[in-house]
Structure 1
Amino acid sequence: MSQSNPKDFHYRFENLVDLRELHQLQDDFWRATGYTCAIVNTEGKILAKSGGAAICNLHQQHEVAASVCQENYLFLHRRATQSKEYVVHRCPFGLVNAASSISIEGHHLATLLVGQVFFEPPQINDFVEQARELSCDKSTYLQALSKVPVVTEEEFLKVADYLVNQARFISLLGLQNLQKKELEQKLEVEKNTMQAIFNGSGDAIRIINVGFEVVNQNPQMDSLSGASKSQAVGKLCWETFNHHFCGTDQCILQRILRGETRVKVEVETERPDGRKVPVSLIATPLKDQNGTITGVIESYRDITDRKKAEEQLVRQKKYFEALFRASADAIAILDKENRITDINPRFQELFRYSLDEIKGLNLDQLLAPPDKLGEAQHLTRQVLEEGKIMHESLRMAKDGRLIPVLIRNTAIYIDNKIAGIQAIYTDITKHKETEKNLEEAHQRLLDIIDFLPDATFVIDQDGKVIAWNKAIEDMTGVEKEEILGKGDYVYAVPFYGRRRPVLIDLIQAYNPDLAKTYVYIEYTDKTIIGETFAPNLYNGKGAHLWVKASPLYDSQGHLVGAIESIRDISKRKQVEEKLKYLSIRDKLTGLYNRNYFEEEMRRIKIDRHGPVSIIVCDLDGLKLANDTMGHDQGDKYLKVAAQIIKEVFRETDCVARIGGDEFAVLLPFTGKAAAEEACHRIRVAVSRFNESRPVIPLHLSIGTATGHEPSQSINDIFKEADNNMYREKLLSRKSNRNALVRALTAALEQRDFNTQGHSQRLEKYCVAMGYRLGLSKNNLDDLRLLAQFHDIGKVGISDAILFKPGPLSLGEYEKMKMHCEIGHRIALSSPDLAPIADLILKHHEWWNGKGYPLGLSGEDIPLACRILAIADAYDAMTSDRPYRKALTRQEAVAELKRCAGTQFDPDLVNVFINLINKETQLET
């Protein structure tokens, strides 16, 4: 008996034999012989058993004893696999067994056991001890022991020989069953394989018997025919799927039965639902084991898609043929040697060749001018290597014309191999002319851009600079050669010192962060206008710029770039800033103006800025200064006052000129005490200024008011301050005016130092004549004042005229004559001089009416003026002047006599001469 590892054999004993039949066989054996018989598998498990000693059953009920029995079976199993026939073995409990291996194809699958006998009567004492060890009832155990057969060894060995034959019989039975199973499995595999092929075929397959009945069909046939297998099987073949061969001598089955071994046709079939399906059909005979044809196997393939593709191919061929013939481009079809096989009508038209003339000729040698032949041959090699080329060049027609063409050659592939070349020639004569015109127009545009007065540049759609005019070169110092063709925001560097987006970049994409960098930006249709400051221009001085950017489009309306023009508006900005300054500032003094002051008053709220104080100042004597010294001097007077007031307050305080001679200060968060302290500082500053003895002393009337309650109106506070100022003005008006007049008089004397004592001498001459004429005390007082202040108006005459060494020009003389009117206005402004204001005005009138300013004559001239005229002329003639020496008394008297009746009152001249002659009388 061969030895083998059961694990190498995938069948188990119980799977190969019918255990019920074996059990029956064993029962018959036990009844006939009384021997216990059992079959044990390779794990020691009893598969079938007949009979069995009662004592062995007791052993099986004890865990240890059962385990010993199990080990004994395994031992017998191992021994049996090593023996060719059988082995005899006495178990640990003394019973004798024989074992024989049951093997199939050399694989041991089970062991056949027989026995459970004694060869000699057992020793009772030994088994009593054994019963005790197994905790078994002694009487029961000994009773079971008595039932064990006692046979001779010779008799038992005969039974063992039978055992071997029975084991061989069982092995043969198992082998037959094994072979049957393997055959069944093989048949099943083949059946499944054929069914899988049948069902899994990509083709639709059906089987038809010689009676034209459908025997079987696969799922693909179900789908193709529209009839399921259950619907088709048993029906005649043409009932579920037919074609025009059915019922004719070309019937597929009939052709097979006539001896054709393979029938292949393409035919249109019809389904039960009426739909027609084009198919490719292959039929082969189906034969039995004797070679007799029992039917036909039909294999169908739906060729609908192929038919459509073929039809499409035909249509495409016609379509491409039509395109080839109707193409606006010249086309030549070449073989792979570059020989012409076909040309289209446009080729014939363009190059003036017919197909018959050039078929089979080399295309390059036919069309390429001599200087282009090498180029053409290179292009042919290139298309054969790379598959296609595109190139612009010249080709020559039959009549010698050189035609600019766009060449597009493409390799023709068949089965992935180059079979020829398609050469396409597009006449680009007009395109080249248009290109030339566009280049000329582009150059003209660049010339126009270059001469634009505004700095201008242009970028393409990639952001590269394509134009940079002369004006932007001058503005930035960057020449066009340095920047043309460059991108990445390089155009921003001259303006901002770094690369960054600018207004022109908003054309392609809106950028809110970029838009915020412009102080002003406006979108008008597709144009963007903005204002910005470029800090890097003009060597870092920077400039305010007005910028305009617009898109550029091609003829199809596609965005191709943008243009930006830039204008330096720094001067305009300066003017705007100046205008803005002037809108809130007083032009003369630089203080805030009335509009700004009133706006600030409207803004201030006592509940948020309280307490609020207002100071109002009025410049006393401005009109007098204007009248006497002129408006230039009056303006200086205002500026001095403004500066004094301004210096008292902080830069942030609102100090304003709100009228011709009126100033105001708005002080939020300032109480009454602080406001009065500020007024005091103003008065101290004015006193300090007047201590410097200016030509015109400064006098300011000041008033202040303070608001604490939110219910108070800011306008009411202003009115209160203005009223307080006016009250102070009224109280000091007279003293201020008299002080001003005295200051003007002193200023006049300081200027005309050569005439010092002149007024005193005049007073003596005039008073003396007044006594002689018997004038009243009041008239004499007026005469004294007139002698002192008659020329007070000369404070308004410039030194250049007043002290000119030579004769005055006509214009200068006219200005000199104005001192009468100036003096008149000064006198009217002073309570002390007002009574003689009219005399000051008329003191230069002549007796004959040729004086000034009114042209009075004779006794229309006030007596005091006529007296003053004689005395003034005499004193002037007898005093030195910068342009002449003094006359003697006699010379002066003679001149008075000469002018009597013209310039002077003749009667008064005589009175004056008599006084002069009586010098002693004058001295007394």
Structure 2
Amino acid sequence: MKTKNLAYLDFERVNNLLEGFNKSTGFVTAIVDPEGNVLSKSGWRNICTEFHRIHPETAARCTLSDTMLAHEMNEGERYRAYTCLNGLVDVAMPIVIHGEHVANLFSGQFFFEEPDVDFFKAQAACYGFDEQTYLEALKEVPVVSQEKVKVVMDFLLDMIQLISEMTYQKIEQSELNETLQKREAALRESEEKYRVLFDTFPLGISISDSFGNILESNTRATELLGLSKTEIETRRIDGNQWSIIRPDGIEMPSDEYASVRAMKEQRIIKNVEMGVKKPDSDIVWLNVTAAPLSLEKLCTVTTYQDISLRRKAERNYQTLFNEMLDGFALHEIICDESGNPVDYRFLNLNPAFERMTGLKAKEVVGRTVLEVLPDIERSWIDTYGKVALTGEPVVFEDYSKVLDKYFEVTAFRPAPNQFSCIFNDITARKRAQEDLRESLERFRIAQDMSPDGFTILRPIRDGQGQVVDFSWVYENAAIARLNGTDPDLVVDKRLLDLFPDHRDSRIFQTYQQVAQSGVLQTLEVWHADKSMQKPAWFRLVVVPMSGDIAILAQDLTDRKHTEERLEYQQDHDFLTGLYNRGFLEKELKRLEDERFLPVSLIIADTNGLKLINDSFGHAMGDAVLCKAAELLQSHCHDADIVARYGGDEFIMLLPNTSRAET
């Protein structure tokens, strides 16, 4: 990995130096980083470029040799010569820039003595080199004496020193340029921040000289003073364009201006209130602070805060204070030597407070509560003391027996060791709440006594807002008996947890529809859920109610049974249970359809019925009629109609029956 300092090395100039060195001395060179990567090379021998650096195994040995040599160099060692793993002599010299060992300068690819040809023949055979070509490249490698190598290495060391110094100078110049750029950028940023802050600051700011001339102002200052920047910077602060007044409305002399005082007294003048009167416009009320500047040609800096709204609010507050319907009182807490509240003093009262309590401001302001009301309960002093000392507001309700009224009291701390109270007459609300409680109690009693079931359910919705279940809010005793639930324990329970069979029922779907649409629905349903105490007919009225649904359940079972009996009696003979004459006549019209043809009709009567009635009584006669009806019914199909026509007469209608089949 290249180091930061190595990045500053001017390889183009270094390559030119090394190329010139190679041409003049014949020594090859290379710059290699600590990982063995060749960064620059010059004049390498063919035996290296065509053989050792080409074959992957010998190339790996080259890299290994270079890195081993670099790592084995001792600190402070100028250079080291060694024989690489491929048999050539190399020399390594460290390149140190600004105290950091960034790379190594290699020279070599020579011998100190005649090479062992057999070693290189064996190497050619091992790695598959062409022996003749390989040995010819070997012959090109020079044999150099160690003395010559020392001279050349000394020269290269001087060259390395030159390269290091050039690079270090470049680094220093780069760092200096970077520092200058950062400082210039910081200065520009600071100036821009100041300008943005100055122009966008919510307070008006102006800078003036010792003569009162405004030299610079921000946008807010021009808005508050009602002049453009050009106008404001060409007029003195006490010029004729403005009329400056005190809070009491009297014109303010120039020696009372905050800027003039700051210049004369050489100190910060804070919170001077003044009004700026301009032609054809309202007075602008300002809170002004000025400070002296110890800069050439600059005398004071002045800030303007618009307090017109605050002044207006104060006037409105005073109006509200006097006209508000709620009672208001300001007090000061009084503590003993241990800091415990023992009394409080009246500081101000509004007219409403006077009307509510009967205490008059002119009589109680400045006096303590124990002086005015010596029998007041200690709890009032303790409660108000906690508010005044901790700043924690309280809201509580109290009943006045004397006035027969309820009051809601809000106490808060407007300033340290003070508390204010707002009294609100809540008598009407309290009595309405009491009426509501009584009404709810009557409703509960009525619901508990009602034979009809009443339930309130709260919808449970999924992420898409669809109703997927309901939870109990309320149920009366009647529906609890039907459901087998406890009205107190069922609250907040889920409907489908208790009654899972409801999920796909018509009842549950109706609940969902009402909860989703907000439209009332009514249905009559036979409900035989296994959770029910007994199956029953219900009339359910499902009504949306403030996000919930209310269900009125009327048990229609007895009515339904009565209706069924009446319907049965309308079409049947009360004695025999056969169809009666009215039903028979309706069926005759129905059987006029061709699909029932042929239709056979049999008329029968009971002989001697009168004799039986006279001899054995009507009960026996009725028994004979019932037996006759039973016999006739037993010989008919399901589609046949057997009716008692009257007295002892019976008629049988046989649809789709020929005479031969009768």
Give 1:190 deviation, angstroms: 3.8
Change (3 A) 1:322 1:491: farther
User: Helix, strand or coil for the counterpart of 2:359?
Assistant: coil
> Aligned residue for 2:14?
22
Give 1:411 deviation, angstroms: 1.9
Equivalent residue in structure 2 for 1:391, among 358, 378, 397: 397
CA RMSD of aligned residues (A): 6.7
CA distance in 2, matches of 1:61, 1:573: 109
> Aligned residue for 1:357?
363
- For structure 1, the residue ranges without an aligned partner over 5 or more in a row are 1-5, 207-223, 226-240, 269-277, 288-292, 397-401, 447-456, 477-485, 502-510, 517-525, 534-539, 676-924
CA distance in 2, matches of 1:599, 1:95: 129
Q: 2:526 touches 2:535 (CA, 8 Å); kept in 1?
A: no
Q: 2:29 touches 2:108 (CA, 8 Å); kept in 1?
A: no
> Aligned residue for 2:32?
41
CA distance in 1, matches of 2:578, 2:571: 9
Offset from partner CA, 1:26-46 (integer Å, 9 cap, x none):
4555565x3425242234555
Question: Which residue type is aligned with residue 11 of structure 1?
Answer: N
Change (3 A) 1:595 1:201: farther
CA distance in 2, matches of 1:562, 1:87: 99
Q: 1:492 touches 1:500 (CA, 8 Å); kept in 2?
A: no
Offset from partner CA, 1:809-845 (integer Å, 9 cap, x none):
xxxxxxxxxxxxxxxxxxxxxxxxxxxxxxxxxxxxx
> Aligned residue for 1:406?
407
> Aligned residue for 2:5?
11
User: Helix, strand or coil for the counterpart of 1:353?
Assistant: coil
Q: 1:610 touches 1:670 (CA, 8 Å); kept in 2?
A: yes
Matches within 5 A, 1:574-593: 584=571, 593=580
> Aligned residue for 1:454?
none
> Aligned residue for 2:590?
603
> Aligned residue for 2:513?
none
Matches within 5 A, 1:426-575: 426=425, 428=427, 460=443, 464-466=444-446, 488-492=475-479, 498=484, 513=507
Q: 1:382 touches 1:389 (CA, 8 Å); kept in 2?
A: no
> Aligned residue for 2:225?
none
CA distance in 1, matches of 2:541, 2:387: 47
Change (3 A) 1:587 1:81: closer
Equivalent residue in structure 2 for 1:373, among 373, 377, 398: 377
Give 1:394 deviation, angstroms: 0.8
User: Helix, strand or coil for the counterpart of 1:650?
Assistant: helix
Q: 2:387 touches 2:413 (CA, 8 Å); kept in 1?
A: no
> Aligned residue for 2:516?
none
Q: 2:540 touches 2:553 (CA, 8 Å); kept in 1?
A: yes
Offset from partner CA, 1:262-311 (integer Å, 9 cap, x none):
99999x9xxxxxxxxx9x99999999xxxxx8x99xx999x9xx85xx55
Q: 1:612 touches 1:667 (CA, 8 Å); kept in 2?
A: yes
Give 1:330 deviation, angstroms: 2.0
User: Helix, strand or coil for the counterpart of 1:420?
Assistant: strand
Pair member with larger Rg? 1
Equivalent residue in structure 1 for 2:322, among 313, 321, 325: 325
Matches within 5 A, 1:285-324: 313-324=310-321
Change (3 A) 1:286 1:580: same
Change (3 A) 1:284 1:590: same
Matches within 5 A, 1:545-694: 584=571, 593-604=580-591, 612-617=599-604, 642=625, 645-646=628-629, 648-650=631-633, 656=643, 658=645, 663-667=650-654, 672=659
Equivalent residue in structure 2 for 1:108, among 94, 101, 114: 101
Change (3 A) 1:515 1:56: closer
- For structure 2, the residue ranges without an aligned partner over 5 or more in a row are 200-217, 220-227, 238-259, 277-285, 335-343, 454-472, 488-504, 511-519, 528-532
Change (3 A) 1:318 1:630: same
Question: Which residue type is aligned with residue 319 of structure 2?
Answer: A
Question: Which residue type is aligned with residue 423 of structure 2?
Answer: I
User: Helix, strand or coil for the counterpart of 1:598?
Assistant: helix
CA distance in 2, matches of 1:263, 1:165: 67
> Aligned residue for 2:211?
none
Question: Which residue type is aligned with residue 409 of structure 1?
Answer: T
> Aligned residue for 2:169?
176
CA distance in 2, matches of 1:636, 1:131: 139
Question: Which residue type is aligned with residue 331 of structure 1?
Answer: F
> Aligned residue for 2:517?
none
Give the structure with the larger strand fraction: 2
Change (3 A) 1:550 1:595: same
User: Helix, strand or coil for the counterpart of 1:333?
Assistant: strand
Change (3 A) 1:365 1:149: same
Give 1:245 deviation, angstroms: 3.6
Give the structure with the larger helix fraction: 1
Change (3 A) 1:379 1:160: closer
Offset from partner CA, 1:828-878 (integer Å, 9 cap, x none):
xxxxxxxxxxxxxxxxxxxxxxxxxxxxxxxxxxxxxxxxxxxxxxxxxxx
CA distance in 1, matches of 2:84, 2:534: 124
User: Helix, strand or coil for the counterpart of 1:339?
Assistant: strand
Give 1:348 deviation, angstroms: 1.9
Question: Which residue type is aligned with residue 349 of structure 1?
Answer: R
Give 1:205 deviation, angstroms: 6.5
Give 1:490 deviation, angstroms: 0.7
CA distance in 1, matches of 2:153, 2:623: 157
What percentage of aligned pairs have identical amino acids? 20
> Aligned residue for 1:334?
331
> Aligned residue for 1:507?
none
Offset from partner CA, 1:207-248 (integer Å, 9 cap, x none):
xxxxxxxxxxxxxxxxx98xxxxxxxxxxxxxxx93644245
Q: 1:35 touches 1:114 (CA, 8 Å); kept in 2?
A: no
Matches within 5 A, 1:797-836: none
CA distance in 1, matches of 2:620, 2:187: 129
Change (3 A) 1:65 1:667: closer
Question: Which residue type is aligned with residue 95 of structure 2?
Answer: I
Q: 1:81 touches 1:108 (CA, 8 Å); kept in 2?
A: no
CA distance in 2, matches of 1:571, 1:124: 126
Q: TM-score, normalised by structure 1?
A: 0.42
Give 1:393 deviation, angstroms: 0.8
Matches within 5 A, 1:260-299: none
Give 1:332 deviation, angstroms: 1.7
Equivalent residue in structure 1 for 2:136, among 131, 138, 141: 141
Q: 1:80 touches 1:111 (CA, 8 Å); kept in 2?
A: no
Give 1:11 deviation, angstroms: 2.0
CA distance in 1, matches of 2:157, 2:172: 23
Change (3 A) 1:602 1:515: farther
Question: Which residue type is aligned with residue 176 of structure 1?
Answer: Q
Question: Which residue type is aligned with residue 323 of structure 2?
Answer: A
CA distance in 1, matches of 2:78, 2:555: 124
Change (3 A) 1:334 1:634: same
Q: 1:103 touches 1:171 (CA, 8 Å); kept in 2?
A: yes
Give 1:585 deviation, angstroms: 6.1
> Aligned residue for 1:185?
178
CA distance in 2, matches of 1:568, 1:92: 109
Q: TM-score, normalised by structure 2?
A: 0.56
Q: 2:542 touches 2:552 (CA, 8 Å); kept in 1?
A: yes
Change (3 A) 1:321 1:669: farther
Question: Which residue type is aligned with residue 36 of structure 1?
Answer: F
**More divergent stretch after superposition (21-30 vs 167-176):** 21-30
Give 1:488 deviation, angstroms: 2.0
Equivalent residue in structure 2 for 1:345, among 351, 358, 364: 351
CA distance in 2, matches of 1:548, 1:392: 46
Q: 2:642 touches 2:651 (CA, 8 Å); kept in 1?
A: yes
Q: 2:540 touches 2:552 (CA, 8 Å); kept in 1?
A: yes
Change (3 A) 1:284 1:153: farther
